[in-house]
Chains A and B, each alone.
Chain A
Amino acid sequence: MIDVARAGEDASDQALIERWRAGDERAATALVERHAAALARFAASLGAWNEVDELVQDTFVRAFGSLDSFRHDASLRTWLFTILRRLLLDRRRAARRDRGAVPLEAAALATEHGALDALLAGEAEARVRRAVQGLTRLQREVFTLRVSEGASYREIAEVLGTTEGAARVHYHNAVRAVKEALDD
């Protein structure tokens, strides 16, 4: 059922891609509108709250510039997640070389907590959000893709470049860690 539902979405994505290739720029707009919010959520979950807009744009630019290399055995959204994640990791590595000392997780959390606290109205939501932000990077990526985007283990494995089994383990560890954080 999951695959059937995704297949319908993928077919639409594919049709839009073909229309864009034929010169229909409205198809590109439709694709951006369809996937931008999910990419923004994913970028925010990775601690890139202040650069979400730029990251999402760079992701689409890179994706549309290399659509010929897009393998249709994966969904377009999964591919976009993969591109965004690689872009972000590259930026993080470059920033780490420049700054040196600040650990990735601490920097991400320091940036994000303030923004999220201001954004989220409810304390309950803020607590959940903090619990998620307390996860390791891999756990947070898996948890976000699985819970927020409804990605399958196979899709998560593709995005992270790992196996479905590893994705499943990361997910269950993340759920356990969030529960423990909320119980404290």
Chain B
Amino acid sequence: MTDCTNGEMRDLLPELLHDGLAVGQRASVEAHVEHCPVCADELALLRRAGAAMRHAPAVDVARITAALPRPTGVRPELRLVGGAPPPARVRRAGTWRPMAAAASLLLVAGATAVGVRHVIDRRSELASEVARAAAAAGSTQGTPDATPVPTTVGEVPPAPAAPSGAGEPTPVAAALPDMDGVATSALLATSVASMSDAQVEQLLAELDELDASLSEEPRSLLPVPSPDGGGER
């Protein structure tokens, strides 16, 4: 059996079979095959072989597709069988921020109001306790410099900045933590319990103007014995 000596044309026979040639190239190969019985026979053989090898077992496309892995980065979604697809999630940029800020503001305002009420009540209690402690110390130990302290908040002497302008700060006033001067005098001058609603509202309004965060740790209001058992810190 002989082969065509034109290797270039012979190499292109499969491309001619599969219609994979450009128009000009196809015309050249077809012209060659027309005048070359060897290539014509080979082309016929390739055509028969191609047709014979077209037969192959059928494959189950659906089963293959079902076995494929999911694309990377795509999470499976739960879908309602027979129902409408779930609505697409639409991210509205910025809509949650004002709402979150408003919620935070309300939370801070509420916490501040509760905290102020607590501070006021606690101050009243502490002042009473300090006064009672001082009175008890004076009566039992006879401390010469013990200053009589009223037993009720309502009897707390006025602070220097009080409208009445009376006297120096009492030991109780000195023991109280500094509150940046806001409403401290009022607290010491009169009982919060005796304040009218309007006064309480004004006090709260003034406190709302303050920074809600603590600038330092609260100081102890009561004398704390030193570790060695003597004196005070």
Chain A residues engaging chain B, CB cutoff 8 angstroms: 1-2, 4-5, 20-23, 25, 28-29, 32-33, 36-37, 39-41, 43-45, 49, 52-53, 56-57, 60-61, 64-65, 68, 116, 119-120, 124-126, 128-129, 131-132, 143-144, 146-148, 150, 153, 168, 172, 175-176, 178-180, 182-183
Contact = CB atoms under 8 A, between A and B. Distances in A.
A60 to B, nearest CB: 5
A29 B61 contact: yes
B68 A68 contact: no
Nearest to A44: B56
Contacts of A147: 14, 17, 46, 49-50, 53
Nearest to B10: A172
B48 A128 contact: yes
Contacts of B14: 146-147, 150
B21 to A, nearest CB: 5
Contacts of A52: 56-57, 59
B22 to A, nearest CB: 3
Nearest to B23: A1
B15 A150 contact: yes
Given A20-B71, A147-B14, A178-B49, A33 B61 contact: yes
A146 B45 CA distance: 13
Contacts of B63: 57
Contact of A61 (B49, B50, B54, B67): B67
Contacts of A32: 61, 64-65, 68
A23 B74 contact: yes
A175 B3 CA distance: 10
B71 A23 contact: yes
A168 B69 contact: no
A1 B57 contact: no
Contacts of B59: 36-37, 39-40, 52-53, 56-57
Contacts of A49: 57
B52 interface: yes
A153 B3 CA distance: 19
B30 to A, nearest CB: 14
A150 B71 contact: no
Given A1-B22, A172-B3, A40 B68 contact: no
Nearest 5 Cβ contacts at the A-B interface: A150-B18, A1-B22, A40-B56, A125-B52, A41-B56
Given A29-B65, A176-B1, A2 B53 contact: no
B55 A179 contact: no
Given A44-B57, A53-B57, A125-B52, A183 B1 contact: yes
Contacts of A116: 55
Nearest to A149: B18
A1 B17 contact: no
Contacts of A125: 48, 51-52, 55
B54 A148 contact: yes
Contacts of B46: 147, 175
Contacts of A183: 1
A41 B53 contact: yes
Contact of B55 (A23, A39, A120): A120
B139 interface: no
Interface string B23-56: 0011000000000000000100110111111111
B17 A128 contact: no
Contacts of A129: 52-53
B28 to A, nearest CB: 12
Nearest to A20: B71
B49 A128 contact: yes
Given A147-B50, A150-B20, 20 more contacts: A2-B21, A21-B71, A28-B68, A29-B61, A32-B65, A36-B61, A40-B56, A43-B56, A52-B57, A57-B60, A61-B69, A120-B55, A125-B51, A125-B52, A147-B14, A147-B46, A179-B1, A179-B45, A182-B45, A183-B1
